[in-house]
Amino acid sequence: MKPHSARFRFHGCLNDFLPPEQRQQTLVCRFRDHPGIKDPIEALGIPHSEIGQIVVHDQIVNLAYHLQPGDEAEIFPEIPIRPDTAPCFIVDVNLGKLARWLRLLGFDTTWRNDLQDRKIVDISTQEQRIILTRDRHLLFHREIHRGYWIRAADPDLQVPEILNRLDLWRDIAPFRRCTVCNGLIQVVAKAEIVDKLEPLTRKYYDNFYQCDGCGQIYWKGSHYDKLLKKLKAFEDHG
């Protein structure tokens, strides 16, 4: 059977997924039969979770649309819609530093260094968590509805990238969540945890906080000022 062809044009940040020589270009896609448009798009390296709208011959279609010979497709990125409440995330195993920073900024963030891709997908769909990953192939799983491929490799740039992309700057609530387990941090009386403190900490500090999940204890030591400076650096990048 003679192969058919269609023409794709990707817009905006979807070009980030293409080799430099293919960006902002009309690409020819060759196919047999009538495949769903999702498969040839992902064959070019673009996860379906990053796609907002597909227009074929001036008609909006969805990812289940079956390609026809001679189709001209315009593919646009998803336009983030600010949620009514701050979103929750699940972060892949290679982004532990990012997960820690998101927790420090108060965002509900699931991360474990032993989570396999299948489990990440399952948790994402069951708990309505946005997947954050540097592995675009993780986002090819059919069940995923919300996922974001992080462009920056540097964690210091990843955080403002996410905050900008999802318009989350106003939702920052520093030191609300535990960096160890993602539990909520609550004020705790010194007398209740004094036997767990190191001698110098017990001597020089009186105000303490404790995770309601794992019991981790926090206080505003020198690290607190460093974290505030880091937050200011994130805002500068934003």
Give tens-digit pLDDT for 76-106: 998 876 667 788 999 999 999 999 999 999 9
Q: What pLDDT score does 167 carry? A: 87
Q: Is the pLDDT of residue 3 over 80?
A: yes
Q: What pLDDT score does 1 carry? A: 61
Does CATH number 3.40.50.1390 belong to domain 4-77? Answer: no
Domain definitions of the chain by residue range = 4-77, 89-237
Q: What pLDDT score does 144 carry? A: 92
Rounded mean pLDDT, 199-226: 92
Rounded mean pLDDT, 168-180: 91
- Mean pLDDT across the chain: 92
Q: Is the pLDDT of residue 14 over 80?
A: yes
Q: What pLDDT score does 60 carry? A: 97
Distance CA 80, CA 62 (A): 18
- Give residue 145's pLDDT band: very low, low, confident or very high (50, 70, 90): confident
Q: Is the pLDDT of residue 237 over 70?
A: no
Distance CA 127, CA 143 (A): 13
Q: Is the pLDDT of residue 125 over 80?
A: yes
- Give residue 186's pLDDT band: very low, low, confident or very high (50, 70, 90): very high
Q: What pLDDT score does 222 carry? A: 79
- Give residue 194's pLDDT band: very low, low, confident or very high (50, 70, 90): very high
> Is 6 or 234 the better-scoring residue by pLDDT?
6
Rounded mean pLDDT, 189-195: 96
Q: Is the pLDDT of residue 236 over 80?
A: no
Rounded mean pLDDT, 6-35: 94
Rounded mean pLDDT, 192-201: 95
Rounded mean pLDDT, 199-204: 93
Q: What pLDDT score does 174 carry? A: 87
Q: Is the pLDDT of residue 75 over 90?
A: yes
Q: What pLDDT score does 37 carry? A: 95
Distance CA 128, CA 87 (A): 9
